[in-house]
């Protein structure tokens, strides 16, 4: 269970995350939705301490992760890997070495520098690539891949950390519809087959409804919706997105009289 208790993160006068309390059972696929600037990214970054909470607590398996530092913080970040919108691969390195970078926290530094990974790590990396049908790309430079391929490599790298939680920050925002489906299917596989908890920020309501067990809607840093996709009616979504609703949900046909 991941528990957020009164989590608040401020940047100067901006309160990006305000008093967020959530209990997320292990293995849940949670979609975090809301307008741009609602605090979705900051929430994910606060969970793994890329952003420091101003107050409140992050609790994982009954242990408080808010105050940990040094090796305990590194271990926490290993256990909750991030997947980013821009993939964050090393473009000039091949796919295999990018994936192996996920082992850095568990590997002596010299192995990474000299690219002499253990045969066990290499086998794990190939197995991860194989899961997502991209083992054939192992020797290609990362910057020669399509966005969807790069994001699958990034997911493999995240898995190499042997995480318990995946924090995916707009993982499909840079992808075309076909690659969006492939990457969302990869995250669903990570969730269902490997049993990892997934928290995923999404702009598309259709994707959020289609892939997630639970939706957390944010507005102005606060949680204003928390329920199943079925509970997020168009009316509730309109309230969440305010003036952006037409763009996200489509025009409100019910509110407009039919054209004579």
> Does 40 interact with ligand ATP (rule: CB under 6 A)?
yes
Contacts of 142 by beta carbon, 8 Å cutoff, 6+ apart? 87, 89, 90, 91, 92, 93, 94, 95, 98, 150, 153
> Does 18 interact with ligand ATP (rule: CB under 6 A)?
no
Q: Which is nearer to ligand ATP, 40 or 157 (CB)?
A: 40
Residue ranges with strand state E in the chain: 2-11, 14-24, 29-33, 55-60, 63-64, 80-84, 165-169, 197-201, 214-219, 222-227
Q: Which is nearer to ligand ATP, 100 or 219 (CB)?
A: 219
> Does 174 interact with ligand ATP (rule: CB under 6 A)?
no
The stretch among 37-45, 86-94, 146-154, 174-182 that binds ligand ATP (CB under 6 A) is 37-45
Contact 77, 60 (CB under 8 A): no
- Rg of the chain, C-alpha, whole Å: 19
Q: Which helix (H) or strand (E) holds 228?
A: none
Shortest spacing between CB 180 and ligand ATP, in angstroms: 16
> Does 50 interact with ligand ATP (rule: CB under 6 A)?
no
> Does 193 interact with ligand ATP (rule: CB under 6 A)?
no
Among 18, 42, 179, 191, binds ligand ATP (CB under 6 A): 42
Helices (H), 161-244: 177-192, 205-211, 234-241
Among 7, 18, 30, 41, binds ligand ATP (CB under 6 A): 41
Smallest CA-to-CA distance from 145 within 202, 93, 82 is with 93
Shortest spacing between CB 198 and ligand ATP, in angstroms: 17
Among 39, 56, 102, 217, binds ligand ATP (CB under 6 A): 39
State both tokens at 18. Answer: 């305000």
The stretch among 8-16, 107-115, 139-147, 232-240 that binds ligand ATP (CB under 6 A) is 8-16
Q: Which is nearer to ligand ATP, 42 or 97 (CB)?
A: 42
Among 1, 6, 14, 26, binds ligand ATP (CB under 6 A): 14
> Does 224 interact with ligand ATP (rule: CB under 6 A)?
no
For residues 206, 207, 212, 216, the Cα torsion angle rounded to the nearest 10 degrees is -70
Shortest spacing between CB 148 and ligand ATP, in angstroms: 20
Among 2, 20, 24, 38, binds ligand ATP (CB under 6 A): 38
Q: How far apart are CA 167 and CA 180, in angstroms?
A: 17
> Does 37 interact with ligand ATP (rule: CB under 6 A)?
yes
Q: How many of the chain's residues bind ligand ATP (CB under 6 A)?
A: 11
CA 239-242-247 angle, to 5 degrees, is 115
Burial (CB < 10 A; 0-12, 13-18, 19+), residue 250, is exposed
Chain positions contacting ligand ATP, by CB under 6 A: 11, 14, 16, 34, 36-42
């Amino acid at each position: 269970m991941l528990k957020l208790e009164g989590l608040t993160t401020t940047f100067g006068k901006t309160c990006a995350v305000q008093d967020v309390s959530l209990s997320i059972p292990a293995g849940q696929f949670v979609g975090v939705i809301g307008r741009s600037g609602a605090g979705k990214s900051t929430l994910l970054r606060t969970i793994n301490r890329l952003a420091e909470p101003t107050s409140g607590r992050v609790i994982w398996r009954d242990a408080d992760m808010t105050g940990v530092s040094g090796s305990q913080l590194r271990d926490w970040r290993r256990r909750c890997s991030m997947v980013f919108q821009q993939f964050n691969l090393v473009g000039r390195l091949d796919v295999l070495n990018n994936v192996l970078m996920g082992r850095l926290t568990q590997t002596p530094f010299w192995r990474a520098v000299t690219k002499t990974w253990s045969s066990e790590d290499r086998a794990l990396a190939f197995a991860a690539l194989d899961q997502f049908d991209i083992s054939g790309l192992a020797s290609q430079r990362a910057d020669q891949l399509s966005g969807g391929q790069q994001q699958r490599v990034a997911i493999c790298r995240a898995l190499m950390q042997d995480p318990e939680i995946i924090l995916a920050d707009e993982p499909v925002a840079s992808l075309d519809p076909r690659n969006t489906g492939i990457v969302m299917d990869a995250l669903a596989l990570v969730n269902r087959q490997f049993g990892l908890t997934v928290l995923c920020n999404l702009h598309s309501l259709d994707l959020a409804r289609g892939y997630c067990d639970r939706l957390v809607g944010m507005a102005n840093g606060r949680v204003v919706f928390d329920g199943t996709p079925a509970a997020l009616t168009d009316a509730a979504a309109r309230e969440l997105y305010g003036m952006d609703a037409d763009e996200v949900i489509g025009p409100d046909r019910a509110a407009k009289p039919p054209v004579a």
